[in-house]
């Protein structure tokens, strides 16, 4: 078989080179030279370039969230009904939710939730809400929140403020339209025009808007928040971080022995006091909500269960009349069935404008709360805002 000329030459060259290397016993250098010569004679693959797309395909993008909400005026209150979740999940209950809102009845000024649509059930108690309703849909449980705040004189402005805040939660820009894009809805039991909101957005683009339904008062801002939260799109609680300085809008004298505590989005100031194993926590926050409902909830926290009406009545009657920052306020010292055992709460509620209040609250072991009575009086007397 004939051998191509270039192959014969290549073989002869390699053989001759090998003989020279062996004769001089330069093994390593020659071996490298042999390999280099051999590789140099091989054909190399051409360089290939690829274009890699930087835009995520539409089908891989996270879905949008949809929010349904209603504002229903009743007597001197406004009731907020709200649910937020993945677009496809909300689509399974949108008609039922709208019908539920339209047909809501009130008993003694409160929504009657005795009968709920099939598959809906009352959820557990959550801070700052009148009620929660759990709705199971394919692959997810939706959370309907029901809360209330005092009605404001300028209804259109009040609605627009709340709807624009909700728009921010969905990453949408504020709207200058009437009611910020909300529509009217016919709720037979309402006292006045109710408002319906149906919005679609991307919560990942949302501003940090964790506050509840509100009409901004004199202390509004990033730290404003309160008990009547309609709930942010995410169910994760706000992470608290150490904050050695209280909110600059507050002025006060810190009692001796009070240590800087952890401040969250809703806390304007926070302190810890007492031994570490019997420590009490003091918080100052702006909030809304019904006075009696808050007192009943606090008693339930320290007595671990439903509180009889007569116990709440007695706590309301025992409230101390105090002055805080020139305003009339009420101070509640709440204990368990045995005053010197378990936990206790020392809470002062200072009314503000816009249906909000300032809450100064100490929670901890009964002995520590009792021991800090004089310090709490000192703090309340120094508080200005």
- What does DSSP assign to residue 109? T
Task: Examine the pLDDT at 167 and tell me if it is beyond 80.
Answer: yes
pLDDT tens for residues 53-65?
666 555 555 679 9
- What does DSSP assign to residue 353? G
Residue 343 has a CB neighbour count (10 Å cut-off) of 18
Residue 143 has a CB neighbour count (10 Å cut-off) of 18
**By C-alpha distance, which of 44, 14, 42 is closest to 30?**
14
pTM, two decimals, is 0.47
pLDDT value, residue 276: 80
At 27, is the pLDDT very low, low, confident or very high (cuts 50, 70, 90)? very low
- Sheet of strand 120-122, all strands in order from the earlier edge strand to the far edge: 120-122, 131-137, 140-150, 77-86, 65-74, 194-201, 183-185
pLDDT value, residue 60: 53
Q: Which range, 75-84, 200-209, 223-232, 299-308, has the best average confidence (pLDDT)?
A: 75-84
Query: How does the average pLDDT of the chain come out, rounded?
Result: 79
3-state secondary structure of 341: coil
Task: Examine the pLDDT at 104 and tell me if it is beyond 50.
Answer: yes
Task: Give kind and range of the element (H or E) at residue 22.
Answer: helix 5-24
pLDDT tens for residues 324-383?
999 999 999 999 888 888 899 999 999 887 678 899 999 999 999 999 999 999 999 999
Rounded average pLDDT over 159-182: 91
pLDDT value, residue 2: 54
Residue-range domains of the chain with CATH: 61-205 (no CATH), 241-382 (3.40.1000)
């Amino acid at each position: 078989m004939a051998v191509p000329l270039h192959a014969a030459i290549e073989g002869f060259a390699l053989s001759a080179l090998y003989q020279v290397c062996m004769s001089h016993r330069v093994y390593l250098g020659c071996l490298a030279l042999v390999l280099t010569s051999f590789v140099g004679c091989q054909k190399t693959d051409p360089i290939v370039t690829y274009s890699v797309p930087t835009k995520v395909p539409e089908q891989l993008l996270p879905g949008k969230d949809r929010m349904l909400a209603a504002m229903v005026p009743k007597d001197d209150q406004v009731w907020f009904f709200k649910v937020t979740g993945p677009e496809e999940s909300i689509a399974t209950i949108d008609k039922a939710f709208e019908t539920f809102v339209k047909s809501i009845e009130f008993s003694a000024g409160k929504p009657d939730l005795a009968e709920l649509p099939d598959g809906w059930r009352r959820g557990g108690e959550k801070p700052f809400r009148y009620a929660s309703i759990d709705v199971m849909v394919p692959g997810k449980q939706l959370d309907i929140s029901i809360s209330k705040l005092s009605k404001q004189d300028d209804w259109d402005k009040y609605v627009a403020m709340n709807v624009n805040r909700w728009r921010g939660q969905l990453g949408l820009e504020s709207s200058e339209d009437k009611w910020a894009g909300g529509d009217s809805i016919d709720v037979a039991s309402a006292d006045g025009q109710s408002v319906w909101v149906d919005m679609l957005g991307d919560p990942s683009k949302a501003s940090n808007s964790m506050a509840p339904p509100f009409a901004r008062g004199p202390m509004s801002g990033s730290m404003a928040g309160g008990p009547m939260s309609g709930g942010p799109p995410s169910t994760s609680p706000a992470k608290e971080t150490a904050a050695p300085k209280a909110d600059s809008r507050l002025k006060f004298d810190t009692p001796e022995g009070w240590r800087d505590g952890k401040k969250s989005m809703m806390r304007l100031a926070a302190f810890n006091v007492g031994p570490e194993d019997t420590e009490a926590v003091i918080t100052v926050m702006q909030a809304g909500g019904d006075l009696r409902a808050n007192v009943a909830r606090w008693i339930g926290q320290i007595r671990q269960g439903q509180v009889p009406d007569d116990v709440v009545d007695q706590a309301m009657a025992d409230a101390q009349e105090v002055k805080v920052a020139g305003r009339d306020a009420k101070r509640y010292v709440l204990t368990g069935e045995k005053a010197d055992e378990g936990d206790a709460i020392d809470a002062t509620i200072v009314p503000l404008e816009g249906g909000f209040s300032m809450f100064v609250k100490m929670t901890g072991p009964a002995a520590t709360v009792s021991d800090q009575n004089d310090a709490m009086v000192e703090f309340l007397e120094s508080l200005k805002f």
